[in-house]
Each structure stands twice: as C-alpha cells, then as structure tokens.
Copies of this chain bind each other. A is one copy, B any other.
Amino acid sequence: MTKSKISQEGLTTGPFPNSKKIYESGQIHNIKVAHRSIELSDTKTSEGEIFQNPPVTVYDTSGPYTDPDYAVNLEKGLPKIREQWIKERDDIQELEQLSSEYGQMRLADKKLDHLRFDHVSTMPLKAKDGRCVTQYYYACQGIITPEMEYVAIRENQQIQQIQESYREHRGQCYGAQIPEKEVTPEFVRDEIAAGRAFLPANINHPETEPMIIGRNFLVKINANIGNSPTTSSIEEEVEKAVWAVRWGADTIMDLSTGDNIHETREWIVRNSPVPVGTVPLYQALEKVNGDVEKLSWEIYRDTLIEQAEQGVDYFTIHAGLLWKHIPSTIKRVTGIVSRGGSIMAKWMLYHHKENFLYTHFDEICDILAAYDVGVSLGDGLRPGSIADANDRAQFGELEALGELTQKARDKYVQVIIEGPGHVPMQGIKENMDLQLEHCKEAPFYTLGPLTTDIAPGYDHITSAIGGAMIAWHGTAMLCYVTPKEHLGLPDKHDVKTGVITYKLAAHAADVAKGFPGAQFRDFAMSKARFEFRWKDQFSLALDPETAMQYHDKTLPDEGYKSSHFCSMCGEKFCSMKSTMEVRDLAKKLEDKKELFKESGGELYM
C-alpha cells in the first residue's frame, strides 16, 4: 500500500438535506441522467387535513459526490460515463504517446512522480485522420448523440411531474426561441447545429456529465478556480472544484498560474463532473517565465495540444484583439483589463506583428476539432470600468470575434463569445444586441457585468445585477464574480458566495425568460413559506446551510422549525399567520355571501 498522494480530508461530499440523487433513463440511448430530488413534508391544514407535497426535481451539477452510494476516490478519478459513447462512434484513435513536447517532458520527469495523477497512464484520444468528432459536426449530420439526449433530459428537470395547480407567469425572452413545453433531444441537436448552443465534450474528458450552453436553455454559470504563484496546493484546487460544483457551478475554469499547473490540471479534470475551461496563454507565459517578448506560436501551439489531450473542454483564446484596436485603448480610463488581452497587446507591440492567435486561427481550430475542444473567444478589450463600457475598442473587437466565429464554424469547432465586464444598466441591452448581430447568435458568456465601480467587497452583487439582466436579454452563461474581485484571491467561502449569488441571478433570468418549469421551485418555496414548513424552506433553498443557520441564530430550538412565525416579526405580527386567520374568518363568512356581494366582491372567485 503506497502513501496516498492526495488528502480527501477537506472535501465536502454527501447529499443535501432531504435530497436524494435520482437517475432518469434515456429513451434513445442507454444513459442515466442525474437529478437531485428534494423531498418535502406534508401540508397540514387548520382543519387537520393532510396533503402530500410531491418532491421537487432540480438541476444537479454536483456529480457523484452527492451520491451516498458512491465511494469518492480522488486518486481514481470519477467514473467515465461518456467512455462507451465516445468509443462507439468509432471515429477516434488512442494515441501511443502524448503529442505535446511539454506533456512528454513532464511525464518523463521522475521528480514529479509524487505529484502525478496515476491513471494518467491511459493514453489520450484523438480524432482519426479525416474524421471530425465535435458535437457540432454530429449535430449538422443530423445525429442525436447520447450527450444531446442527456442534456435534454437534464434541462427538463422532470417537468412532466409538476402538478397542474401550478401556474406560470409568461416570460419575456427578447427573441429567444425557448421551447414552450419541454426540451427534446432533437431540439438540442438543432440548436447545436445552428451554432446557438455549445455542448462542451472533449473526448478526453469522459468524466463530464453533459450540459449545454445556449440562449434557449437554462442559464449557466462558471466558477473560476486555480492556484496562484503564492498560494494553494493541488489538494486545495481539487477541493475548490468539488466545492464549486456542489453549490452549482455548471463549468469551472482552471486559471492556475503557479507551480505544477500541468499536474494540478490533471487532478482537476479527472475529478470534475463538469466541463473544464482554461486560458492556455497563461501556461504558455509560465513556460517562458513570464517574459511576454519570448512568447511564440510554437509554445502556444504545444500548450493547446497538451491541454486538449488532458481533457480541457474549452479554451479562452484572445484572437480578436488586433493591431488596429490598440490605439483606441490608449485613452481609456482603465486600458486593457483582460489578462490575456494585455499580454497579447504587449506581444504585438514588442514584435510589431499582428496577434499570432489571429494569424494562426485556422490552425488552432484544426487542433481543437480533433478533440472537440470548444473555443471561447476572449474579449481582450472588455471594459474594466463603467467609463470604458461600450466604446470603440470593445465593439471593434466584437466585430472581429464575429469574423472568427464563422472561421471556427467552418471547421466544425464549437464557439462561445466572451463579454464584459463593467457596463452601466442602460448599456446592457446594446451589448447583447450587437453580440447577437456580429456573432451570429453564438452563445454569449459574460463576466457580470458590474453595474457600478464603487462597491469593492460587494462586486458579486454589483455584477449579479448586471448578470441577471444580461442573462434575461440572452446571455447563455455567466462567469461568476466573488466578493474579493479587484481585491485579492478568493478563498473557499468567497467561491461559495460567488456561486450562490450567480446561481440566483441565473435563475432570476430563467424565470424572466419563461423557461418551462423554472418558476416551480419558487412556487414550492413560497408554498412552504406560507405553510410554515421551515425545514422544506431550507431544503429548497440554494444554500440550505446558511438559511437554517440564519433562522436558528435567534430561534435555535427544534420546536421553532414548526412554529407559525419567526423572530423577524414575532408571533403577534406575523403576516402569514394573520393571513391564515383571515382565511379561516373568510371561510366562516361563506354563508353570508350577501355581505360580500354588497361590497361588490366575491369571497371565492
């Protein structure tokens, strides 16, 4: 028995309170789609009648970690649920060795053995020569893959089980084409084929549970993790990844810039049930010790291949920031705030050359297509302040991203477009409108945006306002912002706060768009609230722990979990309690209907 390489001590696993993992089977493919089912207690009326409340099925990003029947083992990695699906398509080859020089070098380095994920010995997969393996390609061929069916079932959250008594507000969706009743596998395929949706699915990340990013689906959120030169270990990063998906991250981006990035990423990917994104430029820069002048296409290219073979599902690539855009950044209040953008601008000025990510974009797409890595076209010129929002630099680059979108599509590479940043509320719609126009409806993926600059420490909130609004207008995925934004590296607590905040912003947008079934959890919560089913309120909350802890702060006794008031108003002033009494009084007046008629009202409509 060798010493274990990684501690699982800091890991938070196990089911949520009163929740269980359920699996729904596919109709087309042999698949099992994971949901979370929240069980509720019964409704007891004042007359002593009892009504059952059906469980509420919700979208579950947490992976096997919340399944009590699953024995977590970080050294083995997660089950490879997509392995068979990928192999059965018979369009891939298993390589005999890693294709990237850097990958080979790290593998050969005995000093790294103690850091290495053991099961890395499996060799990576790649498309057979002349074959295309992207979900976009399959979709265009009319093929519904298991991944697509998985996504359809997942998005529906068992909507068919929602009781009839529940009525929904009409949504307003600004031209999106949200399905009226439910998401079908064919709808998923069609959206991917149209380039309106992205299904991240690197063939080297078979552990991922398929999900989709698109304007006509549920709004998704991304959480950034990653070590930095001064902080954190592999353990901590894996811990953060598991933590982020537990609370609702739909994808994670590993933005590590410190030591052992390669090995850290391997551990993260093997243990991540959600797609993983990266910014390969960061690692490329590490390889030249941070000396921007020494960056080259060759080093970058090798990095792309290295990461693609590890299983990264999408790359942020700042290929749209061109030489011609630089002058319009000079008079900006905050210049270039994208890390990748500022690196590439510096490189261009050092070398007096056009952005190599732009000049080599076709070659980049060929590499990505061979593994089904999606490209997230980075907005190197996103505004870093309200003052710079919607300016010539930003929208100039957006046009270039539109041009690149078409190039990627020509190679069957899946594309999403990154967006701001900092935008005052009145400028949000313009961002969405121009993005849809220039980028031909490719999914938009924004960072917030922050709607004011004056609240450092609360930027998760300033940006949740902008995030909810832009998602309502059509943004498909929101990159979270934590309370530490602009101030420091987020810790675990910040990651959770960021994830929950963005989860609620995304949900507010789903509700506003009228996504089918989206309002059901709100309804179930409100009904529980009105009936003083405190435990059910905690179970239905995005963050059950915090909700219960806040409640218990003033009324900790178990008896108060069924009491008809809380400490906010106290018993005498509880409006919900009063309303119950209003209803009882009203019932007693049933016989005196003339009383109501006199006043022009009917008691029971």
Inter-chain CA distance A257–B512, complex, in Å, is 37
Contact A452 B342 (CB under 8 A): no
A61 interfacial by beta-carbon distance below 8 Å: no
A596 in the interface, Cβ–Cβ < 8 Å?
A: yes
Q: Which residues of B contact A509 (CB under 8 A)?
A: 425
- Interface membership of chain A positions 496-526, coded 1 if the CB is closer than 8 angstroms to chain B and 0 otherwise: 0000110111011101111000010111011
Partner among B334, B346, B461, B537 whose Cβ is within 8 Å of the Cβ of A585: B346
Q: CB of A324 within 8 A of chain B?
A: yes
Pairwise interchain contact A172-B426, C-beta atoms closer than 8 A: yes
Contact with B along A560-586 (1 / 0, CB 8 A): 000000111111111110111111011
Choose one: B426, B488, B595; the contact of A472 (CB below 8 Å).
B426
Cβ of A569: which chain B residues have Cβ within 8 Å of it?
Answer: 228, 257, 339
Contact A522 B385 (CB under 8 A): yes
- The answer to whether A567 touches B511, judged by C-beta atoms less than 8 angstroms apart, is no
With A526-B333, A575-B342 already in contact, the answer to whether A326 and B603 are too (CB < 8 A) is yes
Q: State A573–B514 Cα separation when bound (angstroms).
A: 41
Residue contact B582 to A342, C-beta cutoff 8 Å: yes
Q: Which residues of B contact A504 (CB under 8 A)?
A: 452, 454-455, 458, 461-462
Contact with B along A538-574 (1 / 0, CB 8 A): 1011110011011101110000000000111111111
Tell whether, in the assembled complex, residue B257 and residue A488 are in contact, meaning their CB atoms are under 8 Å apart.
no
Contact present for B578 and A454 (CB under 8 Å): no
Interchain CB contact under 8 A, A519 and B386: yes
Q: Is the CB of A505 within 8 A of B231?
A: no
Q: How far is the CA of A4 from the CA of B389 in the complex (A)?
A: 55
Distance to closest chain B CB from A480 (angstroms) = 13
Selected contact of A333 from candidates B230, B422, B530, B602, CB within 8 Å: B530
CA distance A508 to B341 in the complex (A): 27
- The answer to whether A511 touches B425, judged by C-beta atoms less than 8 angstroms apart, is yes
Chain A 305-339 against B: per-residue CB contact (8 Å), 1 yes, 0 no? 00000000000000000111111111101111111
Residues of B within 8 A of A329 (CB): 579, 582
CB neighbours (8 Å) of A589 from chain B are 349
A542–B454 contact, CB under 8 A? yes
Q: Measured between alpha carbons, how far is A122 from B567 in the docked complex, in Å?
A: 36
Among A423-476, those with CB < 8 Å from B are 424-427, 451-458, 460-462, 464-465, 468-469, 472
A346 to B577, CA, bound (A): 11
Asked if B579 and A336 make an inter-chain contact with CB atoms under 8 angstroms apart, the answer reads yes
Report which of B342, B427, B602 forms a contact with A169, defined as CB distance below 8 A: B427
A68 within 8 A of B: no
Q: Does A171 contact B (CB under 8 A)?
A: yes
Residues of B within 8 Å of A172, CB to CB, are 426
Which of B452, B550, B582 sits near A484, CB closer than 8 Å? Answer: B550
Q: Decide: A456 and B578 in contact? CB cutoff 8 A.
A: no
Does A604 sit at the interface, judged by CB under 8 A? yes
A388's closest neighbor in chain B, by CB? Answer: B526
Q: Are B550 and A327 in contact (CB under 8 A)?
A: no
Residue among B350, B485, B575 making CB contact with A339, cutoff 8 Å: B575
Shortest A602–chain B CB gap in Å is: 5
User: Which of B427, B452, B460, B513 interacts with A522 by CB under 8 Å?
Assistant: B452
Cα(A529)–Cα(B522), bound, Å = 39
Q: A147-181 toward B: CB 8 Å interface, digit per residue (1/0)?
A: 00000000000000000000101111000000000
Residues of B within 8 A of A549 (CB): 457
**Chain A interfacial positions (CB closer than 8 Å to B):** 167, 169-172, 228-231, 257, 282, 285, 290, 292, 322-331, 333-339, 341-343, 345-346, 349-350, 352, 354, 384-390, 422, 424-427, 451-458, 460-462, 464-465, 468-469, 472, 483-489, 491, 500-501, 503-505, 507-509, 511-514, 519, 521-523, 525-527, 529-530, 537-538, 540-543, 546-547, 549-551, 553-555, 566-576, 578-583, 585-586, 589, 595-596, 599-605
Given contacts A339-B575, A456-B550, 9 further A-B contacts (CB under 8 A): A229-B570, A257-B573, A335-B580, A339-B574, A384-B529, A452-B522, A453-B529, A486-B568, A488-B555
11 CB-based A-B contacts, threshold 8 Å: A335-B579, A336-B582, A349-B585, A387-B519, A455-B541, A456-B525, A457-B543, A457-B546, A458-B546, A487-B551, A488-B555
